[in-house]
Chains A and B, each alone.
Chain A
Amino acid sequence: MIRLLCLVAVLVLACASPAAAHNVSAGADLRIAQTIAGTELTVVIKGTARVPGPLRIGVIAFQPVAGLPVELKVRSVEDGRTVTGVARAATRDPRYTELRVERTGPHELTLRAGGEVAVVPFRVLVEHGSGAEFLIYGGFFVAGLLLVGGLLTGALSRPGRAVLLGGGAAAGVTVAVMVIVFEPMVPAGPPDGAPPVVTTQAGGRPFVQARMETVPERPAAGEEFTLRVDLVDGSTGRPVDDLAIHHEALAHVIVTSEDGRYFRHVHPLRTAPGRLEVRLRADRAGAYVAHAELEREDSGGQLLMGRFSVGGQGPESSGEGSRAAEDGEDGPGADAGDGSGAQPDAAGGGGAAPRLQPAVPVAGRPATVELDAPGSVRPWLGMGGHLIVRSRDGSFLGHVHEMGSGGSRLRFTFTFPQGGRYLAWAQYAVDDRIVTVPFTVDVTASESPR
């Protein structure tokens, strides 16, 4: 029983660390997806239990780019001390590169690969003992010692001393039990390196305004361009540089062509405070929609949207255009792209077509999408699968997560808000690639008015 109580107390202590976003502490890895050097990587930072101590950094690849070198630089913002190293991307079980940090507090991780640079701010936290364990175990130790002493003294018929020692034992037990009982009620001190926080949190930070633009301003079809998202705080007008890691990324950016034939789910790089950038290439001219899903620290998720257009007639565009003309209707596709790893014919190559339940979903009622992956699915962005749903005009976007059915079967449940045709892309990761399955969903309007 006492052991159980001790265990509970220790567990409560262990769980009391702040749930903030970019914190790296022992046992709490930081995982950040980055679209860098034309591929999808997840950078894992494993924390250290003490400083000075080693931070272990590994890079997991989701596309066949194993061995891709990623230059790492960890810099303490407080004293400017910098350590560098190189990590090589691996599909499974990456080899962790150890970089020694000298202190807790704010740091910056600079990633460099394929001529692109990202700077990820994070904090190194180290839990310090609260003193409670010392009191608990010390109290019991003293109590045990004195009880034995008391028994022996009692046996040697010296009642006065026996009572004294028994009393001491009672004091030890009292201290230990009081600490066990009251410690969980007392907020644990913040770990070393944590920013100052107030206990009464406001109900979330102000909204974010996004300014989306492409560099160059009007990219040509087939040409590489940068999609830039500048984030501005709606209340202060300052750059928003407090993004939380939301489903293992600073931001999830979905770029689709208006007709849905082009699809990318990418994770832009933070290149400056409040600035996110990702390199893309679109093979066809036309209008494009970008949705950015992100979350500020201590706040809820937000969805930002922007539009841009791709001009010019690339050499491949005529062929794509004729295919679209043949098909006659808009429909989602997943053009081959390094960014998403999508296969051109993903629906055929990536397994059977998705099954809908009911076959024609009704607006306002939950519908289920099921599909079978060709092999075992590995978690990507912390989930087994992702379903992106877009209305035809691009004004609505849904991001659904797989419900954890396990194995190679993926199941998503979503309530389509209105009737009409939706463009949908199911995404999951298998051994060395990310599979994107495009399909359409026709939703009938709800019969009973809401």
Chain B
Amino acid sequence: MRRIVIAVALVAAAAVIFIVGRGLGAEPLRVSSTGARYAVTVVVDRPTTGRVSVEVQVTSGDADTVAVSAVMPDMGHSTPELTARETAPGRFVADGELFPMSGAWEVSIRLDGPAGEEVLTVNALVTG
């Protein structure tokens, strides 16, 4: 009888953990955006406060310069632009402090090249 009670409790606990755990767990950011001139995939391995490394892969269009900035729409915060360096053709990396606090941010990627300038925006959830 006791074993059964323990088994029941275990099953119930597993169910609760499954449901609660579903919504948790921050993941590295990897998101794409396509505009009229360029298309990018933005990768941030650890989207946290402090120094971050933002990788911008230009998947369509020929961009010469890429700059990254962020806005927290709920609070009205915005950050200065980080200029990205081209580490490989079509692959740009910007290092620096982009997110002063945790929360929901919009990352603006400003691309410039022969086709003209375009700003693409992606959403990011910053934790810790």
A residues engaging B (CB < 8 A)? Answer: 75-80, 106, 130-132, 135, 163-164, 167-168, 170-171, 174-175, 178-179, 182-183, 186-190, 195-198, 201-202, 205-206, 233-238, 242, 297-298
Contact = CB atoms under 8 A, between A and B. Distances in A.
Given A167-B4, A175-B11, A236-B77, A77 B33 contact: yes
A164 B31 CA distance: 51
Interface of B: 1, 4, 7-8, 11-12, 15-16, 18-20, 22-23, 31-34, 39, 60, 71, 73-78, 102-104, 123-125
Given A197-B104, A235-B75, 5 more contacts: A76-B34, A77-B33, A77-B34, A78-B31, A78-B32
Contact of B76 (A168, A178, A235): A235
A234 B77 CA distance: 11
Contacts of A197: 104, 125
Contacts of A130: 19, 22
A178 B12 contact: yes
B60 A80 contact: yes
- Secondary structure call for the A interface: loop
A233 B75 CA distance: 11
Contacts of A234: 76
Contacts of B103: 198
Contacts of A167: 1, 4, 7-8
Residue among B19, B32, B103 with max Cβ neighbours from chain A (10 Å): B19
Contact of A233 (B4, B11, B23, B76): B76
A192 to B, nearest CB: 13
Contact of A183 (B19, B71, B75): B19
B60 A171 contact: no
Contact of A179 (B8, B19, B34): B19
A238 B18 CA distance: 41
* 5 nearest A-B residue pairs (beta carbon): A235-B76, A80-B34, A196-B125, A167-B4, A206-B76
Contact of A297 (B32, B34, B71, B73): B73
B75 A202 contact: yes
B18 A186 contact: no
24 contacts: A76-B34, A77-B33, A79-B39, A106-B33, A130-B19, A131-B19, A131-B22, A135-B15, A163-B1, A163-B4, A170-B4, A171-B11, A174-B8, A175-B12, A183-B19, A187-B23, A189-B22, A195-B104, A197-B104, A198-B74, A198-B104, A202-B74, A235-B75, A236-B78
B34 A164 contact: no
A174 B11 CA distance: 9
A69 to B, nearest CB: 24
Contact of A242 (B8, B20, B73): B73
Contact of B23 (A189, A195, A236): A189
Given A167-B7, A235-B77, A195 B123 contact: yes
Contacts of A236: 71, 76-78
A385 to B, nearest CB: 34
Contacts of A77: 33-34
Nearest to A82: B34
A186 B21 CA distance: 10
